[in-house]
């Protein structure tokens, strides 16, 4: 299972899984766009390059999702697929990747995300599998 949506009273919540941080971020990207966009109606004429860094896996994913939200709001970009995500682990974690998608039109947007929240935000590695829990304010 790559991700699953979790019932939430007022927001959108999802749980994401991955064998490593790269796969976790890729799957979180797919979950984000599936939550807010009719992905099957998107073309593949645009690309978004994402580069973030952080001092922990939690903030690496948090920063990544905020970049997606920023592109959604300011560039009207919706992602259809993730070409690649690479995570480099040194003193500071760095993630870079390419998302392929298209321009958002009102009829493609399910609901508009407002903020990636830190409410119950969690990234953990358990039994060799990475797991994250994310709540997005709508």
Condensed to tens digits (0 to 9), the pLDDT of residues 59-74 reads 999 999 999 999 999 9
- Stretch 75-99: mean pLDDT, rounded? 94
Spatial distance between the Cα atoms of 64 and 99, rounded to a whole number of angstroms: 12
> Which pLDDT belongs to residue 9?
75
Asked if the model's pLDDT at residue 30 lies above 80, the reply is yes
Give the tens place of pLDDT for each residue, 93-130. 999 999 999 999 999 999 999 999 999 999 999 999 99
Predicted confidence band at 8 (pLDDT cuts at 50, 70, 90)? confident
The domain spans of the chain are: 3-137
pTM across the whole model = 0.94
Q: What is the pLDDT of residue 39?
A: 97
Q: What is 3-137's CATH superfamily?
A: Archease domain (3.55.10.10)
Long-range contacts from 20-24, C-beta under 8 angstroms, 24+ separation:
20/87, 20/130, 21/57, 21/60, 21/87, 21/89, 21/93, 21/95, 21/130, 22/85, 22/86, 22/87, 22/95, 23/85, 23/130, 24/61, 24/123, 24/130, 24/131, 24/132
Scanning 92-136, the segments in alpha helix (DSSP H) are: none
């Amino acid at each position: 299972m790559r991700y699953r949506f979790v019932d939430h009273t007022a927001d959108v919540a999802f749980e994401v899984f991955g064998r490593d941080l790269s796969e976790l971020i890729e799957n979180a990207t797919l979950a984000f766009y599936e939550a807010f966009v009719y992905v099957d109606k998107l073309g593949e004429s645009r690309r978004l390059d994402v580069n973030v860094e952080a001092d922990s896996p939690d903030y690496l994913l948090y920063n990544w999702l905020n970049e997606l939200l920023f592109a959604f709001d300011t560039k009207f970009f919706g992602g259809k697929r993730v070409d690649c995500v690479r995570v480099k682990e040194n003193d500071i974690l760095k993630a870079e990747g390419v998302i392929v998608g298209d321009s958002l039109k009102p009829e493609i947007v399910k609901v508009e995300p407002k903020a990636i929240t830190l409410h119950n935000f969690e990234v953990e590695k358990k039994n060799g599998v990475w797991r994250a829990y994310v709540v997005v304010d709508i």
